[in-house]
C-alpha cells in the first residue's frame, strides 16, 4: 500500500511512498480519510519523504484532506517534501492552508 498510517491521540501521520498520480491518489485518499473519520485528530500530518513523483493529484490530495480536517477544527501539516514536490506545493499556494515542515525525517 502506498500509505502507512500512524496514530497518536492528537495526531495522525500518513507516510506516503512511491508516486502520487491519478492512478493511485484514490487509494491514498481512502486510507487517510478512513483514519481521519475514526479519530478526528487535532493534526493530520502528511509525510512526503518517500514520494518519488507527484503531479497535481498530490495537491488535490492535500486540499481534500484539508477540507475534511478543517470541518471539525483540525489542522494539516505537510512534511519532508523533495525540492521538486515543494516547488509544486509552493506554486499551488498550499502554504496558505497547510503548515509546511521540512527536515522531519528523524521523527519517522
The enclosing domain of 81 has a CATH number of 3.30.750.24
pLDDT at 1 over 80: no
Please compute the mean of the pLDDT values over residues 32-42 and round it to a whole number: 96
pLDDT at 104: 54
pTM (global) more than 0.95: no
For 81-99, what is the mean pLDDT? 94
Q: Kindly state the helix (H) or strand (E) to which residue 71 belongs, with its residue range.
A: helix 56-71
Query: Is residue 105 scored above 80 in pLDDT?
Result: no
Q: Number of structural domains, the chain? A: 1
CA nearest to 54, candidates 25, 26, 32: 25
What's the rounded Cα separation, in Å, for the pair 80 and 86?
A: 9
The string of pLDDT tens digits covering residues 45-88 is 999 999 999 999 999 999 999 999 999 999 999 999 999 999 99
Beta strands (DSSP E) in the chain are 3-7, 11-20, 43-54, 75-79, 99-101
Domain of 53 in residue numbering reads as 3-107
Q: How far apart are the first and last CA of the chain?
A: 17
- Residue 36 makes CB contacts below 8 A (sequence gap 6+) with 12, 44, 65, 68, 69
Amino acid at each position: 500500500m502506498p500509505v502507512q498510517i500512524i496514530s497518536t491521540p492528537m495526531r495522525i501521520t500518513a507516510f506516503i511512498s512511491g508516486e502520487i498520480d491519478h492512478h493511485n491518489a484514490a487509494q491514498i485518499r481512502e486510507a487517510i480519510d478512513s483514519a481521519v473519520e475514526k479519530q478526528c485528530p487535532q493534526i493530520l500530518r502528511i509525510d512526503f519523504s518517500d514520494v518519488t513523483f507527484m503531479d497535481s493529484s498530490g495537491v488535490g490530495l492535500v486540499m481534500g484532506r484539508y477540507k475534511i480536517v478543517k470541518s471539525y477544527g483540525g489542522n494539516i501539516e505537510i512534511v519532508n517534501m523533495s525540492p521538486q514536490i515543494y516547488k509544486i506545493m509552493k506554486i499551488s499556494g498550499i502554504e496558505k492552508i497547510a503548515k509546511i515542515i521540512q527536515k522531519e525525517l528523524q521523527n519517522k
